Chains A and B, each alone.
Chain A
């Protein structure tokens, strides 16, 4: 294969990473050799990043902020905190490494403050010590023409508990990747996600959970609703290594197609090398139940209101796992408000 012709976005990204070391150097090398991923790459087959990045030519600035102040590249968090990814217009790179010490319990609220036309590629490395508990609540409410690409890698030690709840409204292309290494032995992982995509938006949830030790528990529940010309993507994978006997892992994805021209693509994958396990996944796609809608309308609700209520009751379930009442209510309220705009 001959050398590829780089797009303006790729050239900017390559320049941006010029002279970088460690992972940035590897990232630069990948962009130089292959460009940004296209649908020809298996992991991006429903999210063509190269195509989405057309029109973005300049470099911008992006950073992680902890409780409002610029965060260090590597830090330890042992109390509840707010993490913010802030990005200007243009292509940018941000990274943060977070340690949750053994035995601590942390609620981390995460939000994205992106300018119009921002294309941040962000990297999070989170390590949970033994018996640590992290509840990560992510609100991904970004401008329509932004392209957030966030890849988090989470290492969960034994006895630790990792809980993630994400609420996403999509954009030109939103990619939310979570890769978890699960040590088992009393460790638990809960992954919850909700996506509500207005007309023309895209959101991609990609996750892998690798069970490396015995007796691990993982529960994943993703729910979505997609309007016309919008596209929801779910790529979930559970890998159970041979040492991870007695793993109990369950993956569920359910989505509503709100319009004939909506699109949902899913690939719920299991890769299992241990025999004494309980692993299951379910995937269901469909439209709003017309009978329920009819019932509600004849009880006097307007069609818009009835639809919004039905969608809300369908979508809200994964948010229930948020233990912090205030946070859960806040996300539920945002979801309700956005539902009002959905046709």
Chain B
């Protein structure tokens, strides 16, 4: 088939310049020396003026981590990581946190501006870049509060005052440790314990910053919250930690975006995200992950090893994960829900696109413990180029989870004959009063549909983009509007050059 040959050639041509976030920003950086030992852990803790208990917590995690080995069960291949060849802390000079937006160095502001993340509140009010134009007409331009994380530190958090009026706490996790130690102490590590897995334990020892959200009982957070992660400095790893708590009856929607410059080396990103939803609370967590995926030969790119877990602790609580993953050389990411509360609900909507030499092993876990807990998993994987992608999921229903219900659908689309798509679902059921359904398909784009779209006047690339958008529609619908548009664009760019 001629098209296949062209596809391969086109993928070869897939140039680095397709990645428009690959620039670096010149900003004076303070680096911890390379390597990892107890002193580095103490250094990070000291940099953040942390209380003694936090240092103990980190050192305990570090001790455990030294006993652990890299996990090998995922279907990804990469050379062994030299954990001593990484800077575990990098911060723009002149203080970790800026009091007001005016103090943030111009370079960093420009960097975020280039990324389309306006940090000045007046700009934000004018509407978020990339938001649908029709949406702007249809309703007031939405407000999004942003916590911007640059390398290891949170540089600025917007709309704090307005959020405080509603009682919502939104700040960097280091601030939270100072200002709300009782909350941090109560919840940190309560969903992902320090000993959870290799990367989570590493994160517990060296995490530098991240966001903290607490929504008090009965409060519906008045705006979308978001964090933007940017890895800039060379030879660094980013280890952020996010903790979101929705108290009884609260609601919060949270967005996360990430990019990194193009570098020849592999950068390590090992984050931990913990969500806690109490009675009747709801957390919606959306991610657009666009770390630098490496060039067409698989050189460079971010290793994305992330532990994300939500705990539906209260009755009728709900946690929903939505993710669009197009970046990273290697992705190892399983956002999960522990459905502890009665009638709690977990949702997972995912689009993963791999191209070039990317490898992704991703999926979710739904652990049903509470009576009447329900979950829904929709995963859409698209592999192109010479990439490999695996959906790995677990649905587990414990004997007390009477009336539990799960529906899982994972569809894979292959573009070109050099890529792979794999599905590894685990289903464990220990009660008869549960209904579990799982469906999976693997296909290529239908020639008929392509032909139809082309004879209506679309070129092949536009036709493919249209069909792919249709394929992932169910997930796109779950994204907040601002993200949906960005995600659609991202899909198009990621697949550019993958069809002949």
Contact = CB atoms under 8 A, between A and B. Distances in A.
B24 interface: no
Interface residues of B, number: 36
Given A42-B73, A268-B440, A275 B419 contact: yes
Interface string A247-262: 0000000000111111
B436 A283 contact: yes
A173 B73 CA distance: 26
Contacts of B431: 257, 260, 262
B430 A263 contact: yes
Interface in A217-274: 242, 245, 257-274
B417 A257 contact: no
24 contacts: A242-B417, A257-B431, A259-B432, A260-B432, A261-B430, A262-B431, A263-B429, A267-B425, A268-B423, A269-B422, A269-B424, A270-B423, A271-B422, A272-B420, A274-B417, A275-B4, A275-B414, A276-B444, A277-B442, A277-B443, A279-B442, A285-B427, A285-B435, A286-B436
Given A260-B433, A262-B432, A277 B427 contact: no
A287 interface: yes
A216 to B, nearest CB: 15
Contacts of B427: 264-267, 283, 285
Interface string A41-58: 010001000000000000
**Binding site of A, secondary structure by majority: helix, strand, loop or mixed?**
strand
A296 to B, nearest CB: 19
Interface in A111-154: none
B56 interface: no
A278 interface: yes
A267 B424 CA distance: 7
Contacts of A258: 432
A284 B437 contact: yes
Given A263-B429, A265-B427, A266-B427, A280 B440 contact: yes
Contacts of A281: 423, 438-440
Contact of A271 (B417, B419, B420, B438): B420
Nearest to B419: A275
Given A264-B429, A285-B429, A270 B73 contact: no
B370 to A, nearest CB: 16
Contacts of A279: 441-443
A266 B412 CA distance: 20
Contacts of A282: 437-440
Contacts of A270: 412, 421-423, 440, 442
Contact of B425 (A268, A280, A285): A268
B425 A272 contact: no
B363 interface: no
B444 A284 contact: no
A268 B427 CA distance: 9
B23 interface: no
Nearest to B416: A275
A275 B429 contact: no
Contacts of B434: 257, 285-287
Contacts of A261: 399, 430
Contacts of A264: 427-429
B432 A272 contact: no
A272 B383 CA distance: 11
B414 A272 contact: yes
A257 B441 contact: no
B426 interface: yes
Given A265-B429, A275-B414, A284 B423 contact: no
Task: Among A270, A282, A286, find the residue whose CB has the most chain B CB atoms closer than 10 A.
Answer: A270
Given A279-B442, A283-B436, A284-B436, A272 B430 contact: no
A222 B426 CA distance: 16
A342 to B, nearest CB: 13
A343 to B, nearest CB: 13
7 cross-chain pairs, A with B, having the tightest CB-CB distances, nearest first = A257-B432, A275-B414, A283-B438, A270-B423, A287-B432, A266-B427, A279-B442
B399 A260 contact: yes
Given A265-B426, A275-B417, 16 more contacts: A257-B429, A262-B430, A264-B427, A264-B428, A265-B429, A268-B423, A268-B425, A269-B422, A269-B423, A276-B444, A277-B442, A279-B441, A280-B441, A281-B440, A283-B425, A283-B438
Interface in B393-427: 399, 402, 412, 414-427
B20 to A, nearest CB: 28
Nearest to B75: A271
Contact of A280 (B418, B430, B442, B444): B442
A272 B412 contact: yes
Task: Among B415, B426, B433, find the residue whose CB has the most chain A CB atoms closer than 10 A.
Answer: B426
A272 B421 contact: yes
A286 B440 CA distance: 18
Interface string B427-466: 1111111111111111110000000000000000000000
Contact of B422 (A265, A272, A278, A284): A272
Contacts of A42: 73
A278 B399 contact: no
Interface string A279-309: 1111111110000000000000000000000
Nearest to A42: B73
A273 B399 CA distance: 38
B450 to A, nearest CB: 13
A58 B441 CA distance: 47
A278 B442 CA distance: 6
Contacts of B4: 275
B417 A286 contact: no
A278 B411 CA distance: 11
B443 A278 contact: yes
A42 B399 CA distance: 23
A171 B416 CA distance: 46
Nearest to A268: B425
A275 B429 CA distance: 33
A265 B424 CA distance: 13
Nearest to B427: A266
Nearest to B424: A269
B409 to A, nearest CB: 10
B442 A267 contact: no
Contacts of A46: 428
A283 B441 CA distance: 12
A146 B179 CA distance: 64
Contacts of A265: 426-429
B440 A287 contact: no
Nearest to B407: A284
Contacts of A276: 417, 444
A150 to B, nearest CB: 24
Nearest to B437: A284
A268 B233 CA distance: 43
Contacts of A263: 428-430
A217 to B, nearest CB: 15
Nearest to B394: A267
A145 to B, nearest CB: 24
Nearest to A263: B430
Contacts of A245: 417
Nearest to A252: B439
A275 B413 CA distance: 8
